[in-house]
Every structure is written in C-alpha cells, then in structure tokens.
Chain A
Amino acid sequence: MKIYRIHALICAGAQCLAAGGNGFEDALKNELKKHNIEEEVRVVETGCMGACQLGPLLVVYPEGIMYTNVEAKDAKEIVEEHFLKGRPVKRLMWKKEGKEEFPGLKDIPFFAKQTKVVLRNCGLINPEDINEYIARDGYKALAKAIVEMEPKDVIDVVKESGLRGRGGAGFPTGLKWGFAANQDSEEKYMICNADEGDPGAYMDRSVLEGDPHSVIEGMMIAGYAIGANRGYIYVRAEYPLAVRRLETAIKQAKQTGLLGKNILGTNFSFDIELRMGAGAFVCGEETALISSIEGKRGEPRKKPPFPAISGLFGKPTIINNVETLANLPVIVDKGAKFFKQFGTEKSPGTKVFALAGKVNISGLVEVPMGTSLRKIVFDIGGGIPEGHTFKGALTGGPSGGVIPMEFIDTPMDYESLPALGTIMGSGGLIIMDETSCMVDVAKFFLKFTVDESCGKCVPCREGTRQMLKILERITSGRGREEDIYRLEKIGELIKLTALCGLGQTAPNPVLSTIRYFKEEYLAHIVDKKCPAKVCEFSALKGGRNKYEAKVTH
C-alpha cells in the first residue's frame, strides 16, 4: 500500500460543491502537479463534513487542520506554505470568534462537542469507493448477521438496543420488524425512505451523499431479519447527487459480491433498486410512499392493515428511514450495550440535526439523544448572530412546533418534545431571532401543508385551508377576537380526524405558536400591530371584504 505524507480531504457535500468546491479542487491538484508532490499528497473527496455554512471546507491530515471558505486562489498558498514548508495558512483556518485560530479539528467546539455514530464516516471517506467503507469496518456487521446470527437474533439485538425510527414518529424499530418477520409470505419487501421532504432538513441527504454504503448495509441487515430479498430506496428527485452516489454504491456492492445471490456464500440473497420520487411531500408518509413505488398517485391508505402486514404490492413491507438504517451496522457490530451508552433510557443513541436559520454556524450536528437545545444552539452552533436574541427553535418542520426561550434547557428526546407540544421530527432545527413573526411562521407552514395536502380526506384538504384563511386575515390586520379560539377548534378537529400523519400533524405549528406566543397573536388582532414588523397591514380597510366572507363559521 502506498503511504502518503499528507491527506487533503475536500468536502464534496452538495452544499460545499454549491459554494464553489469544484474550482478549489482543480486548483489544488494543479498546484500539486506544478510542485511535483502529487505522490506525497493524497486528495480525497469526502461527503458532508457538517459545517456547511463555512464551506467549501478542506481538512489536512496528519494535523487535522480545518480550512474554511477556501477558494481556487487559495490553493497556491496552501500548497506552498503548508504542504511544502509545514506552515499552516492561518488566515484560512477556523477561528474562535474571528480571532484566534484553532490548532486542530478536535479543538473546535462545533466538532468536539458532537458524538458521531450515524455520521461516523461522513467527511472522512470517499463515498464513491467501497474499499474505503470496508476499511472502516464496513459490511462487517452484515457478515456477522448473515453468517453467525439467525434472523431472530438480529431482531432481538435491535429490540434490545431500543433503536427508535428516526423518521419522526419514534416507533421502536425492532418491534416493527417483528410484525413483518412473523408474516408467512414468499415475498417481503424492505424499503428505505429517503424522501426527505421536511423543508429545512438535510440529514438524510448528507448520509446518502457522504456514506451511502451504511444505508445499503443497514437495508441488507433489515432484509435478512424480516426475510426480504428485495429492497427499494425511494429517494427525492431533488437530490441528484444523492441519486448518483447511491447508483455508484449499489453498482460497486454488486461487483464486490455484497449484493446479489448467495451473499458471502450463505443462502441469503438481496437486491436493491432505486426509485425516484417526483416532488410530493406526502410521499414521505409510508402508505403514500408505497402507492408511489407502485406507480400510482402518492395518496395515503387507511391503516390498519399496516405495511408490515400488507404493504408494497400487498406483501409484508418494512419501511425505515435513512438515519435509522445507518445506525444498524453499528448496533449489530458493536452490540446493543454499546449503542445504549449514548442517549437517554427511553431514547437511546444519537440524533442528527440540521441546524439552520439565525445561528452562527449552521450545519449538520450529531449529538446524544437528550442533549439540551441550549447546548446545540449555543455551545455547538456558536449562538445567535451578534445583536440579536434567541426567540424560538422550530423542530419537526410542518408537523412540529416551536420551543421558546423558557424551555431552552429541555432535553431533545422522544418524550420531552411532545410534552412541549412539538415533535422530534426527522431532525430539522431552525433557529429564529426576534425578527421572526410567530403568526407569519404559522402561516408559512400552513401554506406548505395546504399546497402539499393530497386532497384525499376532507379534514386535511378543507380544514387546513380554513385555518390558512384565518391566519391570512390576522396577518393583514383583519383578525377578529374569536379567531384564536376558532383556530384551536379547527386544529384539534383535524388532528383527530385526518387520514394520515401529514394531516394529523398539520395544525401543530399553529397550535404551538398560539400556546407560547398568544400575546403576539393578540397584538395582530387587537392592536393591529406586528411586533416583529414582518406583517404588512397596508391592505387594511374598514368593513368585511369579499375574501373574508368566504371563511366558514
């Protein structure tokens, strides 16, 4: 094997590429060639490193120095000063509050305070080379499962680990598998839900792009456990890079003999196909996703029967989210006990959050379950940009709610968040400061659900529309005093009667903002003022207009 003096890891996550990563890599390679040190420096394109806001990113080993916002014109200086003379380029290094440079990755709080289980390989290996995944113990868990363990043992270890579905609902994964495993059927299916539709979340995207084999291995372990030989990955068409890397990964796994017939000489055979979504948020709901794979409109179905009993093409089907699957190789390889050392008793393991909005360092953050919101926002995310104050954090996207300042020390886990009237969701975490208007935020999410409602059931199709009309009335200065009561009443009704998860959770952002920011609603309705100065009341005219008359009472 060839030994290199320096490893230069360039982030090739979608965001760093968008910020100009390609140009830097070409420039760096040119410089290496010019100085004739191509044989000494290995350039590796990795998946997402996490600090997306500061991209394009470059990490240089053995020192572990991180350069941020690198541009093509910086390549010359990095090669001549750092690679040739051993003098790191201070002006490009990650700095503490813009002043002092951090000596290495492990000294930067953004990285030092994270715990990486799911993102164990993201930003470290080349996602387009299966050998790099294997070198990091990749496919070891699969070998252990199919050679040494019975399917039942695999289900038991996952049950014991306490792993809960990371798609949002937090249903125990092992328990779900058990339902499908008990079904007597010739055909069963394993589906990976990679239809990450929550606006403001990109955890799954980064795993798919940065470590696609961990998802494939997870699917195979799950397939073995429930007795499925065929898997589908349902991925958003909006993620072309993820699709390309998955295609490459599947191809390489097939060539290596890790996918196909009689894997590793056992009786276990497994095949994976990609299915592209076509832009419908509701397809993240599992029964709608199944309809979409069957080639139909992505409308949800009534449950029960649950997919584990009757799913894709009427056969027992298990659907797991990307992050859930990426956890599996670790659990099977290192055991339930290893996994349970992270997180809380009822929510073991870690959670990846996509931290964004009004925060100093937005990016991907993986922490043990139960970590406080304060730690994520202030210790890891570096707090709120100067001159502004924290107002609230949105979790769970259009299905979730807001966590106000008074609850900033709440542990982020599957029990504490519902108690606050929000949900964990898939991991979107949007931070807001005092310039965000909570009524407008509620309206923003309602607009989203009105657009994305599939229209199959009345409560969701009509109810969300009525709620939106009331919110539009309030934010244009035509709100009435009974509007808050009315929003709550319609909201509760939709929660109880909608057909699927999309509808049942659609009122959450409204109910949650009313719960914590009622005075802001009242300011709009009574004083005709928007405290955050977001809503414009210019259209305000006396009397009822045509538009108002349409709202049902």
Chain B
Amino acid sequence: MEKSRYPQVEMEIRKWGSKPSSLIQVLHGAQERIGYLSQNVLEYVAKRLNVSLSKVYGVVTFYNFFKTQKDADHIIMTCMGTACYVKNGEEVITAIEKHLGIKMGEKTSDGKFSLQIVRCLGACGLAPVISIDGDDVYGRLTPEKAVEAIKRYQ
C-alpha cells in the first residue's frame, strides 16, 4: 500500500537499512532517482526511518545539496572558491547572469537553466571554472568562453 507509492525510495531504504542513521544516504539516493525531495517523499522517509518529519526537514534544509523543488533542466554551478575569486571569477558570473537574464540562485522562466554558486569544485588549476549538470566542467574561462559553453545547452 504505502510502500508501492514510492518504490524507488523504498529501494534506497532497503539498501541503507530502515534506521535513523540512514537518513542522509536515503535522501541522497531518493533525490538522485526522483530529482528532488517533495513533501510527500519526506513524509514517507520520516515514517519509514522512524524519524520525526521536523527532523527530516531540519536535515534537508541544513545541507546545500538537497532540493525540495524541481530543478531546471540544466544546472549551472559557478565556482567561487578562492582560486576562482582571485582569478576574476566574478566577471564570469556577471557575464552569465547577463546572458541568461537571471541572478545567482534563480531559474530562467522557461525552466531551462538555474544558476548556483558552489564553494569549490576542486579544479583550482583551471580557475575560473563552472560546471554544468554536475559532470561537465569548463575551465580557464573568460566571460566570452563561459557564455559560449552555456550556448551548447540552449
């Protein structure tokens, strides 16, 4: 009954065990499978792991990684680590904001792109850096090159 509502979440719970300490790993798995963590999913996880919903919500909002709303098709993470900052990462960000017509932390109206800041991608040798959809990393950027990279996804 309840279980059949979220078979994907259930698989994660089976993998990590139905106990409170599995919470973060289950949320990770659920988000990867579903894309974001809706209130219904959080309620379900809370019940199954025997944690109060307020505690689950507390964890979800504490960590930057978890999302409670559907994200854009492409997520642009602009790095603002120290190396990117020293190497004029700010100019790259301004150019991207101008190109997409949105500010940091926002989503384009067509739901295609969202723009987020990340603290460090650990690719400081290539600074300034952005990543698109997690896996595609673009380095040694200039404002022009950054816009060019984004155009490939449009």
Q: How many residues of A contact B (CB 8 A)?
A: 55
Query: Judging by beta carbons under 8 Å apart, are B81 and A200 in contact?
Result: yes
Given A14-B137, A52-B125, A199-B119, decide whether A280 and B64 contact each other with a Cβ distance below 8 A. Answer: yes
> Is B87 close to A, CB under 8 A?
yes
Query: Judging by beta carbons under 8 Å apart, are A238 and B118 in contact?
Result: yes
Given A15-B139, A52-B126, A278-B28, decide whether A397 and B65 contact each other with a Cβ distance below 8 A. Answer: no
Give CA–CA (A452, B139) in the complex, Å: 25
Residues of chain A lying within 8 A (CB to CB) of residue B109 = none
Residues of chain B lying within 8 A (CB to CB) of residue A238 = 118, 120-122
Give 1 or 0 for each of B55-99: 1 = CB within 8 Å of chain A CB: 100110011111000000000000011110111000000000000
Minimum Cβ distance to chain A for residue B59 (Å): 6
Query: Judging by beta carbons under 8 Å apart, are A200 and B62 in contact?
Result: no
Nearest A-chain residue to B59, judged by Cβ: A297
Please choose the segment from A104-112, A357-365, A494-502 that sits at the chain B interface, where 4 or more of its residues have CB less than 8 A away.
Answer: A357-365
Given A15-B123, A200-B124, A295-B21, decide whether A280 and B86 contact each other with a Cβ distance below 8 A. Answer: no
Minimum Cβ distance to chain A for residue B132 (Å): 11
Minimum Cβ distance to chain A for residue B130 (Å): 10
Query: Judging by beta carbons under 8 Å apart, are A430 and B86 in contact?
Result: yes
> Is B6 close to A, CB under 8 A?
no
> Is B143 close to A, CB under 8 A?
no
Given A238-B118, A240-B135, decide whether A436 and B86 contact each other with a Cβ distance below 8 A. Answer: yes
> Is B39 close to A, CB under 8 A?
no
Give CA–CA (A299, B87) in the complex, Å: 32
> Is B104 close to A, CB under 8 A?
no
Query: Judging by beta carbons under 8 Å apart, are A280 and B85 in contact?
Result: no
Residues of chain A lying within 8 A (CB to CB) of residue B108 = none
Given A295-B23, A295-B59, decide whether A278 and B122 contact each other with a Cβ distance below 8 A. Answer: no
> Is A202 close to B, CB under 8 A?
yes
Residues of chain A lying within 8 A (CB to CB) of residue B83 = 199-200, 356-357, 362, 430
Pick the contact of B126 from A19, A296, A454 — CB < 8 Å? A19
Give CA–CA (A198, B134) in the complex, Å: 19
Residues of chain B lying within 8 A (CB to CB) of residue A240 = 134-135
Give CA–CA (A350, B21) in the complex, Å: 37
Residues of chain B lying within 8 A (CB to CB) of residue A280 = 62-64
> Is A306 close to B, CB under 8 A?
no
Residues of chain B lying within 8 A (CB to CB) of residue A397 = 82
Number of chain B interface residues as a range: 35 or more
Query: Judging by beta carbons under 8 Å apart, are B123 and A298 in contact?
Result: no
- The tally of CB-CB contacts under 8 A between chains A and B is 138
Minimum Cβ distance to chain A for residue B27 (Å): 8
Give 1 or 0 for each of B119-150: 1 = CB within 8 Å of chain A CB: 11111111101000011011110000000000
Query: Judging by beta carbons under 8 Å apart, are A357 and B123 in contact?
Result: no
Pick the contact of B119 from A202, A292, A448 — CB < 8 Å? A448
Give CA–CA (A454, B87) in the complex, Å: 28
Residues of chain B lying within 8 A (CB to CB) of residue A296 = 23, 55, 59
> Is A319 close to B, CB under 8 A?
no
Minimum Cβ distance to chain B for residue A323 (Å): 14
Report A406-449 residues with CB < 8 Å from chain B CB. 428, 430-432, 436, 444-445, 448
Pick the contact of B125 from A15, A275, A281 — CB < 8 Å? A15
Residues of chain B lying within 8 A (CB to CB) of residue A445 = 82
Pick the contact of A205 from B21, B119, B122 — CB < 8 Å? B122
Nearest B-chain residue to A296, judged by Cβ: B59
Query: Judging by beta carbons under 8 Å apart, are A18 and B123 in contact?
Result: yes
Query: Judging by beta carbons under 8 Å apart, are B24 and A292 in contact?
Result: yes
Residues of chain A lying within 8 A (CB to CB) of residue B120 = 197-202, 238
Query: Judging by beta carbons under 8 Å apart, are B86 and A358 in contact?
Result: yes
Query: Judging by beta carbons under 8 Å apart, are A278 and B86 in contact?
Result: no
Report A267-288 residues with CB < 8 Å from chain B CB. 275-281
Report A172-216 residues with CB < 8 Å from chain B CB. 196-202, 205
Pick the contact of A18 from B25, B62, B63, B139 — CB < 8 Å? B139
> Is A77 close to B, CB under 8 A?
no
> Is A55 close to B, CB under 8 A?
yes
Residues of chain A lying within 8 A (CB to CB) of residue B122 = 14, 196, 201-202, 205, 238-239
Query: Judging by beta carbons under 8 Å apart, are B119 and A197 in contact?
Result: yes
> Is A163 close to B, CB under 8 A?
no
Q: A197-B119, A278-B66, A356-B127 are in contact. List 11 more A-B contacts (CB 8 A).
A: A198-B120, A200-B82, A279-B63, A280-B62, A292-B24, A295-B51, A296-B55, A297-B59, A298-B62, A357-B83, A448-B119
Q: Which residues of A contact B (CB under 8 A)?
A: 14-15, 17-19, 51-53, 55, 196-202, 205, 237-240, 275-281, 292-299, 313, 354, 356-358, 362-363, 394, 397, 428, 430-432, 436, 444-445, 448, 452, 454
Q: Which residues of B contact A (CB under 8 A)?
A: 20-25, 27-28, 51, 55, 58-59, 62-66, 80-83, 85-87, 118-127, 129, 134-135, 137-140
**Can you report 14 residue pairs joining A to B where beta carbons are below 8 Å apart?**
A17-B137, A18-B139, A53-B125, A197-B120, A199-B81, A199-B120, A202-B122, A205-B122, A276-B24, A292-B24, A296-B23, A296-B55, A358-B86, A430-B83
